[in-house]
Structure 1
């Protein structure tokens, strides 16, 4: 594997809102895997490992609590989860990896104590698989490749079993959506960037107001509000908006809209178009009256989506399937084969837009665009 010169991602540098970033469970699990491989392949115990981040540019230095031999020829390594200033349920938890060789010439993933297993379709992993999401798996596979590159005597196709766990994970998982999602036995190993951005604090709400005001000051024509990373490509590539006119609002849609109306009234002006772009798992919660979309403050969005399907003539079985789906993504997959699916999403976009527009009468037009996890438009073509 070709090595790429990477730059350190320094967690000591605060986020734009002044809060401290942290490490995802995916980064912690990857660090534990890499530390365990260090002992397994090189006979070396380390207290710090370098984790390559998914952006292909940065690495993260992650402290390691413990590296030691376990039973059956496995090595166990432990890493303390540090979520920064984000009120993450897993903050302070011990994430561990037990790594052993296999004869399958493949990297295989297993759920250790405290990490859940998927029991329903519609998740990012298949039924029966450990709840280790795709990006953390990618990070761990890369860690294996890096360690094999450094172990010159090792065959490049050496196989390893990676068992990922979390101390007290069964208890921690009760504070999350995992039981309802059909993930049993513990937490999920998550993360798309390897970095926890501190989004869910009152301080972040205050910073959203700052971002909103900066965006509005930059234009009287259009700005875009994005709950997460999904929709960013639409804002920059399709709408052509510069960064300062695209606001990452996290879970605080209601606050962002109220800040917008307040700022426009203070300046005695309007805004031509406000775009809301993102995944329906966040934005469709508005259909049930939830304007703070954090999981602790809102229900999941499937009921609202199913209600629209019913009102548009969906048969009883389809509506029931969508109501019983364990994630919005599963509901989206169920709806995909229906001939009126696109019409449904266009109607959901319209309804979200109407509800949101009521909070910002100083905005002339409010448009909503919904996308799946791969960035594909669900309703109106982007």
Structure 2
């Protein structure tokens, strides 16, 4: 890939599971594996996939597809997605089972009830549609058990949010469009929403969204929050707050380092560098509000980093972090306007030490 070439799209685990199921079911019915095998995406596209494995036995057929996530750094890129299809009782329809490396839902609040294999609703619909296509072409009955497996998926799942969401034993089979968009924000925001759903279903009244692992550990210890209350929001504070506005809890704490909370104090809801840098002029004005003399404010306006500005103000005995926190919570409260959610902001240093914290604000 050249520097200016577009990033390559990939395929979700749901699409790969659908392709594997389609191939296995067709082999179960006809004795032949289609290779490549085509499937229909929710948006109408129809990609085809080469089979990595194909096996028939007494009362079953099994096929596997290697997941290609394109240029996205997806944890499941290169994983083998396997579908084993077996006949089911007449009238059963399509039933789903979790095989090796596919998780099981254990907590309420997710799109599937506890006890169900973590094969999400859209992939289930895609798999049912693929089975129906084969039935229409062959006259077969569509009463089958579909077991989806991802060998090694349990280890991969430990790198995801599944354990925190109460999905045990492996990965989730995911996808809403069937396509992986490289470096998409959608997957992260989706996980934020599911984390809130799980916390609400568990009856929690206080959740915390943190920008990183240091601030998450710090706020968890400070407020004695259980893991289920901790939302890994990363840079997507807007995604957290906007979802809470419609799906409220009593209180949310926004926790992060000084630079990230400075961006929130500027009014930014995406705290990534691509969305905007720390405005040192803004920090200089806040320093002046905190009592900085003009000479110090001028130095802050040309500081090397937000950390440099923080250290200069602290050396002068000024609490600029408190001013940043106050402005940051005002930004967050505006997003939550009209909802019953109270919000506070906690600002931490790089070692997890508390620099400033606001009272809870309710709009």
- TM-score bin, normalised by smaller chain: 0.5 to 0.7
Aligned positions of 1:87-98 closer than 5 A: 87-98=73-84
**Superposition pairs for residues 1-382 of structure 1, below 5 Å?**
18-55=6-43, 57-70=44-57, 72-105=58-91, 106-152=93-139, 154-155=140-141, 158-199=142-183, 227-228=185-186, 281=193, 288=209, 290=211, 323=229, 341=248, 354-355=264-265, 357=267
Q: Is the 8 A contact 2:81 2:150 kept in 1?
A: yes
Separation (CA, whole Å) in 2 of partners of 1:130 and 1:303: 30
> Would the aligned equivalents of 2:161 and 2:191 in 1 still touch at CA under 8 Å?
no
TM-score, length-normalised on structure 1? 0.55
Q: Which has the larger radius of gyration?
A: 2
In structure 1, the residue matched to 2:291 is none
Could you tell me how far apart the structure 2 residues matched to 1:303 and 1:134 are? 32
Assess, with a 3 A threshold, how the Cα gap between structure 1 residues 195 and 121 changes in structure 2: closer, same or farther.
Answer: same
Taking the aligned partners of 1:353 and 1:45, their CA distance within structure 2 comes to 55
- Cα separation, 2, equivalents of 1:378 and 1:62: 47
User: Which secondary structure state, in structure 1, belongs to the residue aligned with residue 186 of structure 2?
Assistant: coil
Instruction: Determine helix, strand or coil for the equivalent of 1:188.
Output: coil
Identify the residue that residue 310 of structure 1 maps to in structure 2.
none
Two-structure CA RMSD over aligned residues (Å): 4.7
Count of matched residue pairs = 257
CA distance in 2, matches of 1:104, 1:299: 51
Unaligned ranges ≥5, structure 1: 1-11, 201-226, 230-249, 252-277, 308-315, 371-376
User: Would the alpha carbon gap of residues 322 and 282 (structure 1) be closer, same or farther in structure 2, given more than 3 Å must change?
Assistant: closer
Gaps of 5+ in 2: 197-207, 234-238, 256-260, 269-275, 283-329, 342-363
Q: Distance in 1 between matches of 2:116 and 2:195?
A: 29
